[in-house]
Each structure stands twice: as structure tokens, then as C-alpha cells.
Amino acid sequence: MDLSGLNDKQQEAVRHTEGPLLILAGAGSGKTATMTSRIAYLIEEKGTYPGNILAVTFTNKAAGEMRERVEKLLGRKVNSWIMTFHALCLRILRRDGDHLDDHSSDFVVYDPADQRAVVKAIIKERNIDDKKNPPGALLATISDLKSAGVEPKDFLAEMQGDFSGEIRARVYMDYDRTLKKNNAMDFDDLILNTLKLFEKDPGILRSYQDRFRYIMVDEYQDTDGLQYKIISSLAKGRGNICVVGDDDQSIYGWRGADIRNILNFEKDFPGAMVVKLEQNYRSTGNILDGAYSVIKNNKDRKDKRLWTRHERGEAITYARCDDEKEEADYVAREIIRLCGPEEDFSDFAVLYRTNAQSRTFEEAFSRRDIPYRVVGGIRYYERKEIKDMIAYMRLVSNPRDDLSMERIINEPKRGVGPGTLSKLKALASAEGLSVFETVARPEILGGLNKKAGTALGQMTDAIRKYNSEKDNLRVSDIYDGLLRETGYLSALEMADTKEADIRIENLMEFKSVIYDYQEKPPEIDVYMEDGGETETERNRETGDLEEFLEKIALISDIDNHDPTENAVTLMTMHSAKGLEFPYVFMVGMEDGLFPSWRTMESPEGVEEERRLCYVGMTRAMKRLSMTSAEYRTMYGKGSYTRESQFMREMDPKLLRGDGVYVEKNEVRTGTSSLRDGYSGEPFSPFDSLREAKREVKKGSVGLKGLKAGDRVVHKKFGEGMVLEVDGNVGVVIFDRAGTKKLALDMAPLERVQETDI
Ligand code: ATP
Ligand code: MG
């Protein structure tokens, strides 16, 4: 087999087939490529039967690509086991699961949604207070206990006398029993039961040790304790284990990955050969040096430095934009500028720290007709929670919109099953009414079961109420009110799962979309009475619901989502691990966002973020661009930001662009104090999120004790004077918007302070 495409060190690693081997090397040095060639070499040169080779990768995508490359090298299909840890365990258990005590090999796999359903049923059955013990927290406890190898009965014994501990132990016990009874396994069980199987039946373990004559693991720095056990048990057989990784790229510590697995490899597998690769084939000199100037700030690392034969290439560019919209637009403009005849859109990637950042880029790309795909996430306007809330707003705008009504009638869960819904629809069509009108009738509500009747009653009341006041409210008042009064937000809060938290974050981010719309009203000219001069003044009319919904429909329609080929990739830095792109944009380089505020407290946390920064930067082959926003709005709340400490760590000689920080004692030209990125505070998405939620819950309670003659400010119509008050209805004449009749308990009103007049 021709290995001439590999360098000497790589060839050495490929040829060293017997005994333990560690390839510890930096990004883009060809670790994955070496591993791939090694599989082909074992088959072609050593005559190894392909089914005797096990190669473990971090994601299904990586496994698919590796298989493809091996098959390309060999020119035929191979049946080697190239897969993730979970897929490996699933396959082993399907073959030999019958030897387990509590399961047979035709078990079903429970995904997180199934797991939650089980825990919820237990909570109900045991009458547990789900506010004190939310399902998400219980599942997290169960997962921790399982990973630590603690059996339910042992945990129960340990918790004896501890009231809340005992509750958790009983849930764990019931959960375990339910899964066994249903012959089901969750993801943790796949790994754990494989280990159990190996322990219980050494013969089975031995058969796999014999089968896997050669074992390889990519991205070994991100394996956790249990995965390590699987690998080391299997490798004890033949001892031909090759692991590949980079301690500088360990980015899953928060998920239990243990960097010691790679650092202790030589101790765990005595006699291991260690190959270090130092030549990088991916990036230009500037990109490599830039990445090194950041990672070298980690105290807890073994120093290693990559070199390249590639030219120095372009400088890393850094743009400090005005705000997140300008940032997205800048990236879109740059992509259009850089995408010449030689390039494809698929040569570009935008990497961010959190999925919530994708929205502004999706919008900017749609506006400029740039095809894109969001990897590992869902497009913002395709998300269920966003579609649900848009359906609610449509219903407020037009209660006869049956499609929207059907979408949300049981969102959140109100106990309206498909059977009830089809009966309601039949009734509505028989009477020529809309579903909403039918449901809102007291005799219909009364005829449903109590829970459904009450919940639907609350929902229809809210829709009706906002429908009648919609012209007097800002879109944001309606949105907040719907989140609050339909029970949508509280249902998510009750669920208390990671997934529900993300949904809440997306819903709060929708407030940015709404404020954005409200803050850009049409500008009108106002004649000054005295001098006849014109002055442009902002109209307080903040747009209306119908116009807003049309705008949203447009954005979500003309999107350029293109999952297939020629599209820009949008993804988090975490999911970019192992990949490469000619052009990379790393966006949101601000303290608080990246490094994330969650990690800024602890030095270890920041070190893991710094490794993530290194991973992100080393994805770039030809050109790396970094951006930050001076002012960032998230969840509808904006604040000035401070640029990321990683930007300040980067060697300024390698950087070019308006955002480049110049030492304070050097002459700086044309940069405002804000632009230098030091005067702001770390951005705090957490505070913005909390503030946004608080605002939703508080809502508008209106003003009490108003009387004719009072001067008020309305958030939509501006200043005016109360003409008349009759119970909850007030008539107000506004200076600009004319006379309006308002429901006083909902109106966003404030009194004008004496001094303001
Ligand atoms: P990461 O740490 O990011 O996972 P890696 O070490 O696995 O990186 P690869 O993805 O295997 O690196 O290789 C990086 C790039 O360098 C790929 O495009 C690969 O084809 C190329 N490459 C690897 N080795 C050589 C070589 N000897 N000659 C030329 N190109 C090479
Ligand atoms: Mg790799």
C-alpha cells in the first residue's frame, strides 16, 4: 500500500500495528488521517479481516466519514466496526444481551423523552411534589448514580432517614424497575450493561477481545470514565490499542470527559509507543501562531507547538462591530466578497458559542440570499416553541384561524387528545363556526372533563382579551401576556429539563425580534408650530400585530436553508471538533459570551473555554475572521460588552482590522474608548434572561385610581390626557394618536410626573 502521502512520523504510526500506541498531537496534524490509513493498512498489508478492527469515533458523522475514506482507500466496502461508543454497545447488547439478568437482547432504547415520561408517571403514582422534585433533576440524579455504579437498593439504604433523599431513592428504584419490566434501556444503560455483561460473563468479554484484534479511538481526550472502562477491558485481550488525541482540545469536561485518560495512557498501557506529530497540514502560519498565542496561556498543559510548510497567509482579521445585527451583516458581506469563482459557499463556516446566536446570522443570510445550514441545531423559526407562539399571536389577530388553533389547542398539554379535537372540529364545521368560537362556548367547555375545560377556558379568555385590546397594546405586551396567561411559559418551567430551558431561552430571544420591530417605527415629519421648521421625530406608534406577523412570515419563508451541498455551515464550536473549512468566522468574541459567563468563575472553566477557542481557530485552513459586538442584545435586553480575553491574549502582530486592540501606551488613532473593548462589562446573558422572564411574569397591571384630567404616558401612543373613566374602561386623548378607548387593567400606562409637564 502506498503510504507516500504520509510523513515519516505518520507512517511510523501506521506501521506500528502491534502493542499500544498513542498519537498525541495538535490540531490538523493528521491524526484522523493517520488512523484512517492505519485501518486500510491493517486490511491491505497485514491481511487483517476487516471485521476484526474496531474504530471508535466521537460522532456518527465522524464515523461515516472515516468509513467512507477507508473504503475509498481500499476501493471496496468493509465491515469493520467504525462507530461511536453508544453504537458499539448497542451492537454488543443486541448480540449478547440475552446473557444479562434483567434484559433480553431485543430491548428497546429509551430516549430522553421516554425517560421523562417514565419519571413523570412515577411522580404521579407516588404523589411526589414535582416542584420540589422536578423530573429533570430526578433524571440527572439517576444518571449520576448510575455512572457512579450505585444500585437503587444501596442508595435507598444510604438515604434512610433523609426525607427528600428517600424520595429520590424510591424514584430511582421505580425507574430502574420500570425499565427492566419493559425490557428498556436508556443511553447510560447501553454503556453500563455492556460493562455488566463483560463482568458477569468473562467468556463473552473474551470473545470480543478476540474479535477486536485492533482497536482505535479518535478524540481520546474526550472519553469519560465508563467509556475508558469499555476500551480498557476490550484492549486487555490483544493489547493492540491505538488512541489518538490532543490534550489541548479536550472540551467536554462539563460532560464528564476525563483528560487524565489520555495523559495516563502510557501508565495504563505499559510499553506504549508514543508518536508526536508536529507538522500541521491544515492551516496557514498566521492561523497556527494565533491559535498558539491563545492556548499557551493555559497553565495546565504540556507545551507543544505546531509548524507548517504552508505560507504565512493572510492576517487573522478582527472586526469589532456596533451590535449583533451589524456583526451578522458584516459576516454576510464578507462571505459574498470572499466567495469568488474558486470558492463554494460550503467553504465557509460560522462558529459560535451558543445556539441562540444563530438567529441573527440566519436572518442576515436570508436577506442576502446566502444558502446556509444549521448543523446540530434547528433553524430558529422552525423551532417548535417559536411556531407555537406565532400560532398564538395569529389567533389573537384572527380567532378564526383554525390551523393555528389546532396547533396550540393542546400546547401546553391541556388534556385535549386527538379524539376530542376531531369531535370539536366536526361540531364547528356542522355549525359553520371556527374551532375557537366553538371551544369558547361555555356549554362546550362545561362538557369537557374538568381539567381540559378549565385550561381551555383560561386560554380562550386570554385570546379573546388580547384580541379586543390588540390595537391598544404593543406586540411585546401581547406576546408577554400570551406566554403568561396561556400557561405556556409555566409548563416549560415545570418541566425543568435542559431541553425546556433551551426552549425558554429561545422564547426570550424572540423578544429581541419583537423589540427590534417596535423600535424601528416609520419616521414622520412634524411641523413645529412656532418657526415652521421641520424636525423629524419618532412616531410613538409602535406598529401593529398584523404587520409584525406579516414580517415574520416573510423572514421565515425566504430562508435559504439548504441542507445538501453548496451552503455556509452554521454551528457551535463544540460541534466543529475534528472538522475543517477554508474560511472560518468565529463570532461573539466577548467576555461573558465566550468565555461563557458560566465558566468565568473558575480557572479550570476558563481553561476549558480556551481549549474550545483553540479548537475553533484551528478549524480554519486559509482565512480566519473573528468578530465581536460593542453592544449586544439577547433576550430583548441589550448591554455594552467587553471583548473576549482571548482576543486580548492573541498576538496583536497577527491581527488586522478595526477591532484590533492597541496597547494603551501606544498611540491609538480613531478609536473610541468603547471600541477598545475594555470599558464595557462582561456580557451577562444570564442577567438578560432573568430580566426578560421577570418582565413576562410581571406583565402590565394597569394604573389604579385614574380620573378625568390626569396626564398619562402610554407605551404605544405616547402622552395624553384622561377624558373619562368608567369602571375598567378609560377614554384618553393622546397628543398625537388621537382618542382611544382602553381597558385600564391591561393598558401599558404610567402617570406623567409633575415635573415632566
Ligand atoms: P483535529 O485535531 O482537528 O482532529 P487531525 O489531527 O485529526 O485534526 P486531520 O483532520 O487528520 O487532522 O488532517 C488535517 C488535514 O491535513 C486534512 O485535510 C488532511 O487530509 C491533511 N493531511 C494530513 N496528513 C497529511 C500529509 N502527510 N500530507 C498532506 N496532507 C495531510
Ligand atoms: Mg481529527
Q: Which of 417-421, 557-561, 620-624 has the lowest mean pLDDT?
A: 557-561
**Model pLDDT, residue 525:** 39
Ligand 1 site-directed mutation target among 4, 12, 22, 31, most atoms within 8 Å of CB: 31
Question: Residues with beta carbon inside 6 Å of ligand 1?
Answer: 5-7, 10, 27-33, 246, 249, 281-282, 578, 580, 618
**Residues 436-454: pLDDT tens digits?**
999 988 888 888 888 889 9
The helix/strand/coil state of 82 is: strand
User: In angstroms, how far apart are the furthest CA atoms of the chain?
Assistant: 99
**Model pLDDT, residue 708:** 92
- Which residues are CB-contacts of 594 (< 8 A; sequence separation ≥ 6)? 353, 588, 609, 612, 613, 644, 646
**Model pLDDT, residue 578:** 92
Amino acid at 704: K
Whether residue 31 lies in the annotated active site:
yes
> Closest by alpha carbon to 284, among 657, 661, 656, 654?
654
Q: Which three cell numbers stand for residue 144?
A: 449520576
**Residue 729 scores a pLDDT above 70:** yes
Kindly state the percentage of the chain with pLDDT values over 70. 92
Edge-to-edge strand ranges of the sheet holding 81-83? 81-83, 53-56, 214-217, 241-245, 21-24, 273-275
Task: Determine the Cα–Cα distance for residues 6 and 50; give it in Å rounded to an integer.
Answer: 22
**Model pLDDT, residue 528:** 40
**Model pLDDT, residue 678:** 56
Residue 597 — pLDDT band, cuts 50, 70, 90? Answer: confident
**Model pLDDT, residue 526:** 41
Atom of ligand 1 nearest to the CA of 34: 11
Start-to-end CA distance of the chain, whole Å, equals: 88
**Residues 152-162: pLDDT tens digits?**
999 999 999 99
**Residues 602-632: pLDDT tens digits?**
888 999 999 999 999 999 999 999 999 999 9
**Residue 583 scores a pLDDT above 50:** yes
**Model pLDDT, residue 614:** 97
> Which is the catalytic residue, given 96, 174, 176, 219?
219
Ligand 1 site-directed mutation target among 9, 32, 287, most atoms within 8 Å of CB: 32
Contact 434/460 with Cβ under 8 angstroms?
Answer: no
User: Residue 501 phi/psi, 5° resolution?
Assistant: -60, -40
Mean pLDDT (the chain, rounded): 88
Q: Which of 22-31, 508-517, 660-669 has the lowest mean pLDDT?
A: 660-669
Ligand 2 centroid to Cα of residue 397, in Å, is 52
What are the CA-CA distances from residue 344 to residues 310, 339, 365, 598 (Å)?
A: 22, 7, 15, 36
Ligand nearest to the CA of 35: 1
Strands 214-217 and 53-56: parallel
- Ligand 1: residue whose CA is nearest its atom 20: 33
Q: What is the arithmetic mean of pLDDT over 307-315?
A: 93
> Which is the catalytic residue, given 9, 10, 32, 38?
32
Q: What is the arithmetic mean of pLDDT over 135-152?
A: 88
Q: What is the arithmetic mean of pLDDT over 681-694?
A: 82
Contact 121/182 with Cβ under 8 angstroms?
Answer: no
What are the CA-CA distances from residue 178 to residues 123, 151, 185, 344 (Å)?
A: 13, 15, 10, 52
Contact 630/319 with Cβ under 8 angstroms?
Answer: no
Contact 185/175 with Cβ under 8 angstroms?
Answer: no
**Greater pLDDT, 73 or 657:** 73
Ligand 1 centroid to Cα of residue 214, in Å, is 22
Whether residue 218 lies in the annotated active site:
yes
**Residue 164 scores a pLDDT above 70:** yes
**Model pLDDT, residue 407:** 93
Atom of ligand 1 nearest to the CA of 27: 2
Residue 564 — pLDDT band, cuts 50, 70, 90? Answer: low
**Model pLDDT, residue 134:** 85
Whether residue 649 lies in the annotated active site:
no
- Ligand 1: residue whose CA is nearest its atom 31: 281
**Residue 661 scores a pLDDT above 80:** no
- Ligand 1: residue whose CA is nearest its atom 23: 30
Q: Which of 23-37, 297-311, 458-472, 602-616 has the lowest mean pLDDT?
A: 297-311
What are the CA-CA distances from residue 547 to residues 362, 482, 719 (Å)?
A: 21, 18, 23
Residue spans of alpha helices (H) in 375-417: 384-397, 402-408
Contact 332/368 with Cβ under 8 angstroms?
Answer: yes
**Residues 510-540: pLDDT tens digits?**
998 898 888 765 444 344 444 433 333 434 3
Q: Which of 170-179, 554-563, 591-600, 630-639 has the lowest mean pLDDT?
A: 554-563
Ligand 2 centroid to Cα of residue 32, in Å, is 4
**Model pLDDT, residue 667:** 40
Whether residue 619 lies in the annotated active site:
yes
**Greater pLDDT, 665 or 186:** 186
**Residues 324-334: pLDDT tens digits?**
999 999 999 99
User: Residue 642 phi/psi, 5° resolution?
Assistant: -115, 135
Residue 660 — pLDDT band, cuts 50, 70, 90? Answer: low
**Model pLDDT, residue 304:** 85
Strands (E), 500-604: 523-527, 534-538, 568-572, 581-586
**Model pLDDT, residue 175:** 96
Ligand nearest to the CA of 249: 1
> Closest by alpha carbon to 588, among 325, 353, 309?
353
Atom of ligand 1 nearest to the CA of 280: 16
> Closest by alpha carbon to 685, among 613, 606, 591?
591
Ligand 1 site-directed mutation target among 24, 29, 57, 242, most atoms within 8 Å of CB: 29
Ligand nearest to the CA of 62: 2
Residues with CB under 5 A from ligand 2 (ion): 31-32, 578
